[in-house]
Amino acid sequence: MANKKTKKKGAEATQAAPASKVEPKKADLKKADSKKASKKSDKKAAKAKDAKPGIIARSKKYISSVRSEMKRVVWPSKKELVNYSIAVIVSLIVVGVVIAGLDALISGGLVVFSGLRG
């Protein structure tokens, strides 16, 4: 029974809504127009803010940011630099030897498999 009552109330509410429709006042329409105008001016101001600065201004900003970052860098000492360089060179040699060994192994296996060399 409770469902039927709520359905009736909902139906009455939907019927009453169009009858109670009130036309907007002229003052409300003027406010809406002024809001639209202010939104347009806000969009223009936002576009002006979003405009890209010139290439000179962007270059100056970039160089100043690079300078500030370079001041924060902690540079290695000469001893650390030598140690890091030696570690890189040794690892390059090891990787090169491993790749050369794998290459020789694979090419030898292919020669045996295909029987190209007599």
What is the CA 114 to chain-centroid distance, rounded? 52
CA angle 33, 38, 41 (to 5 degrees): 130
Per-position DSSP letters for 22-45, written without gaps between them: -PPPHHHHHHHHHHHHHHHHHHHH
The per-residue pLDDT for 9 is 57
Summarize pLDDT for 69-99 with one digit per residue, the tens: 999 999 999 999 999 999 999 999 999 999 9
Query: Structure tokens of 25?
Result: 């006042």
Q: Where are the alpha helices (DSSP H) in 20-115?
A: 26-50, 55-72, 78-114
Summarize pLDDT for 21-37 with one digit per residue, the tens: 556 566 665 666 666 66
Helix (H) or strand (E) holding 53: none
Instruction: Kindly report whether the global pTM for this prediction surpasses the value 0.75.
Output: no
The per-residue pLDDT for 112 is 86
Summarize pLDDT for 5-22 with one digit per residue, the tens: 555 555 555 555 555 455
Average per-residue pLDDT for the chain: 79
